[in-house]
Structure 1
């Protein structure tokens, strides 16, 4: 639960707790279907591709490219005013076409074009909650 004026916190559920536990360990993990081997994100009870049940969480590289982004200049959600301007991005992860993760884009000038930019996951401490995934630019060839 969030305190008025601070950033809202995610609310882990039994379905999402393994994701957040992985973030606390500094690893990005997403569900992967044991039957069709497709990654699933956001978390689902069943694989949306083949219908198999209970996709397990597996670590992913956290590397990908920015598909789209927006820069927030005037936040309307309490707790974000001191961050503005800030950029949030959809990132297509390298593990699978169409597999996207969402997070802040750090270390890149707000408002500057970032589409196609190679990025990697980093974890930002959300006070009162723990680490959450964000992304930062990565140079081509960097592993």
Structure 2
């Protein structure tokens, strides 16, 4: 299991993004650079999931999902500790939830 949240950056145009791709979604350049994020960020949005989409996740409901603006300049959706609010500074890592590696944020 990965120990850190990874992101990609385009060397030619400087664009950053979260989902792994073989090309830059902004300029189309090939061979982006993959880096580890610090995990630091700010909560952009929060929701509580009561009706989970799978039996594995149903066992964890209710749970918190957050959109986080990472310090490195990308936004990602992740799980978060209960009680997070928009504007909270957070620290993230990869944890195992329902048998899968998932980004997870706690109040910093």
- TM-score when scaled to structure 1? 0.67
Match of 2:34 in 1: 57
**1:135 partnered with 2:102:** no
Bigger RCO (CA 8 Å, 6+ sep): 2
Structure 2 unpaired stretches of 5+: none
Higher mean C-alpha displacement, 58-67 vs 38-47: 38-47
The structure carrying a bigger strand percent of its residues is 2
Could you list the runs of 5+ residues in structure 1 that have no partner in the other structure?
Answer: 1-23, 139-143
Larger Rg: 1
Do the aligned residues in 2 keep the contact of 1:102 with 1:134 (CA within 8 Å)?
A: no
Q: Is the 8 A contact 2:67 2:75 kept in 1?
A: yes
Out of 110, 116, 129, the position equivalent to 2:87 is: 116
- In structure 1, C-alpha distance between the alignment counterparts of 2:94 and 2:85, rounded to whole Å: 19
Paired residues, number: 108
Task: Return the alpha-carbon distance in structure 2 between the equivalents of residues 46 and 123 of structure 1.
Answer: 24
Contact 1:68 1:89 in 2 (8 A): yes
Normalising by structure 2, what TM-score? Answer: 0.85
Distance, in Å, in 1 between the alignment partners of 2:29 and 2:19 is 16
Residue 102 of structure 1 corresponds to which residue in structure 2? 77
